[in-house]
Structure 1
């Protein structure tokens, strides 16, 4: 939810951002391993049901759209809804919308005393990190909430610990199918996990089988192509986090009283979500774009200043860009 200083150097940032305009084909080694049938995954992230008054409506908009799209699976990438009965309507709606519903644990899903095990049990996950086979590809889902980082500087943990890293290395070496790496916290770019360089180096050894790495968490719209791996930040379904310095009223005071952190955000008028389409015949990956508008004042109108390398109107926007490579 909270934006932190990016760990990406300016040289890396310029190089990676420029590559977002390129339309690259799926690597031949990966394409050859794919079945000749299209794979579609509906994706939503950072709903933040417990921080906003419109969580259920935003999820309902996503599910209504997915009913038309008819994807092969639905994926929510964290900061979804506390895993308890207070959110039963939201969690059940997602679960019942498709036979294949996948979850990622976000840093805020264990706020208010909830645990990872409750997420696993209540959402119906096979584990906090896991693999999932889907029509000839494999989704490799990580948990970026490990503790024990030697570089932890406070706040929520953002780290892939040694045990999980060893598991990741084993899976990368064993799995034959093309891979999609899924995480809540990014593995590259702004707010990347503390050991991003280590994880990136590991992924690069197996880039001939990796389709892309995809994440939520940052509430930005961004795509980085670093050393042969595509890293995509999917924007939040709900808002951009501004922080206490930019506190402002957006709705009726009674709404803000019930949802006190809402005043620290710039919400999107419409829910943002996307579909990831892998087309082996054309050798393309497509992330469907979606646009909204700011609800109330925009970050520009609030004179938002970011300490990292993010820009209003570029990465900080009420949209998910249309990407294809």
Structure 2
């Protein structure tokens, strides 16, 4: 094998295997951005300039919001005896478009030939040109949303949300000037943008989950392992890959004991499993123990990143639970 072939094979191997790392997705509960307030019973007033269903999208998101089987909001038909009023305005619902044309040559249809005098062979030197109609479209929705505390007529939260969508489409089955049937769908697309705004608004004003995808440590290098222990660790990785987290946790705990709690890799992976089960305090303890057994700066950095995450999420979870109904 040539050196060039070896380099190409190595580069391919790095690319292939770097995308195949075993990962775990964990979630953590985070609080509303409205501090020191518990908003549960609300009235959603109709938004100004709302022709894209922004009001109803917000009502739908609020009415279907649950955390730990608890309904987060109770919607009322008026502002009497409510915690807050949600009001706002659709500041912009727009579509800007620009029509342009791409040139395309039909290689099956020749406009001008050149003839060789000796061979009489014809060669096309100019094909028929066709103009392809195209259109660029920019959709944009901008909505201002306020939350007003009913008892004090005080603004608790105010934010302007902006969502955009860009399309660039050509119609090769049409020719100039037949562009009148371009499908712009302004109302439909901007209504979907309003739905995204409603989801972002719910994320801001209610307890919610954030998700993190973290790579599992797939090799133990800090200790000398027997072949049996190596096989057991590989089996645990396979269990994690197949989302058999309860069994993986049990097997990791057994291997942790067998290795006298000295492998930071096992301790770290076990911490990830406990994070998966939202047991952040135990995950924190395991990361701290893993840090004590870390052997180099690289492993220390990996552990510290997860420790910082779980410390932050523990604090955020306490705040979020206090905001639940």
* TM-score > 0.5 by shorter chain: no
For the pair shown, which has the larger CA radius of gyration, 1 or 2? 2
TM-score, L = length of structure 2: 0.24
Considering fraction of residues, name the structure with more strand: 2
